[in-house]
Amino acid sequence: MKCVIIEDEIPAQKILNNFISKIPSLELVETFQAAIEANSFLNKESVDVVFLDINLPDMSGLDFIKTIKNPPAVIMTTAYSEYAVNSFELDTIVDYLVKPFSFDRFLKAINKAKERIEIPEAINDESEETIFLNVDKTLHKIVLNDILFIESERNYITVVTKNQRLSYIDSLKNWNAKLPENQFIQVHKSFIINSSFVNKISGNTIFIKDNKIPIGRTYKQDLLNKLGV
């Protein structure tokens, strides 16, 4: 995975550089001390992971990442743990590291980034009918067509299939962008459904087996159009 560091503190740069060098799958492409220096690079070049300090001299890391089109997976670094909640409001952020952080904690963040990168690729591969979700250090095989619905709550996703429920840190946006559009339909800000399992629709509620899924007002007409109603 190609990565860049955006960090104005030299000691922090050296720690990140050292940790990155210990992981063969990581390739450090560039290091920047300010957001404005990284802006043109990230808008032209493709990388997989950005290590981004929240407190930068020209603008905050949180504000900066909002300016990048199709941003990569972001691992925030900060000396202040209170920033963590705000940072997770952005879908592209997979984890945050509170300075000083250990190599073990760094590796955990890398595994989260790898999971975020690999899952959409697996879903988008038309030759694959199954995907693997890494939940609690266990790989779970999921048959795409067995998914009943996907629910988002805060910064967690719950994938509900015929046989199981799996929850982990992710965003509905990532799934919505990669799932087959005609089969999977977003019906609420917190739900994507598999239209193959819709038993009935009553008012603003969808019934899928024993589950009742709410229909958001702004999503209802699109749902009816896709169902051919």
CATH level 3 topology of 125-226: OB fold (Dihydrolipoamide Acetyltransferase, E2P) (2.40.50)
Give the count of alpha carbons within 13 A of 142, CB side only: 27
Averaged over 42-66, what is the pLDDT? 85
Is pTM beyond 0.75 here? no
Q: pLDDT over 70 for what percent of the chain?
A: 89
Residues of each domain in the chain carrying CATH 3.40.50.2300? 2-121
> 2-121 is classed in which CATH architecture?
3-Layer(aba) Sandwich (3.40)
Residues of each domain in the chain carrying CATH 2.40.50.1020? 125-226
Which tens digit of pLDDT belongs to each residue from 31-49?
999 888 888 888 888 899 9
Instruction: Report residue 181's pLDDT band, with 50, 70 and 90 as the boundaries.
Output: confident
Residue of 112, 110, 109, 113 whose CA lies nearest to 98: 109
Which tens digit of pLDDT belongs to each residue from 88-136?
445 678 888 888 899 999 998 898 888 877 755 545 544 456 777 888 8
Tokens of 61: 């890391």
Q: Are strands 205-208 and 200-202 parallel, antiparallel or unpaired?
A: antiparallel
- 76, 97 in Cβ contact below 8 A? yes
Q: How far apart are CA 73 and CA 23, in angstroms?
A: 17
| Residue 23 to residues 28, 110, 116, 175, 210, Cα–Cα distance (Å) | 10, 9, 18, 28, 45
